[in-house]
């Protein structure tokens, strides 16, 4: 779930908590809304901490090193012929 999904969870939770007055038997929509908002906030915090950690590990302008591996197919080893 990306940042957009987290924002959607927060918005849906806020709508259920503050903008509706529906009554469902056995379900408290205010509690469901608060739970959705909490999960969305946790997701935003997690997403931002991961994004911050990536920026710290790879500063802008740092060279990107790609490793190329050569696979030899054939040659009679490992069952490949």
How much is the pLDDT for 59?
A: 62
Task: Check whether 79 has a pLDDT greater than 60.
Answer: no
Given pLDDT bands bounded at 50, 70 and 90, which one contains residue 75? low
How much is the pLDDT for 29?
A: 93
Q: What is the pLDDT of residues 25-69, one digit of tens each?
A: 999 999 999 999 999 999 999 998 887 777 666 666 666 667 777
Q: Is 75 left (phi over 0), alpha (psi -120 to 50) or beta?
A: left
């Amino acid at each position: 779930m990306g940042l957009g999904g987290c924002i959607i969870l927060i918005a849906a939770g806020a709508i259920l908590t503050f903008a509706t007055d529906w009554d469902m038997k056995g379900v408290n929509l205010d509690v469901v809304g608060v739970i959705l908002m909490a999960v969305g906030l946790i997701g935003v915090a997690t997403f931002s901490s991961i994004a911050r950690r990536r920026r710290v590990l790879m500063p802008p302008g740092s060279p990107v090193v790609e490793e190329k591996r050569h696979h030899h197919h054939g040659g009679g080893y490992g069952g490949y012929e």
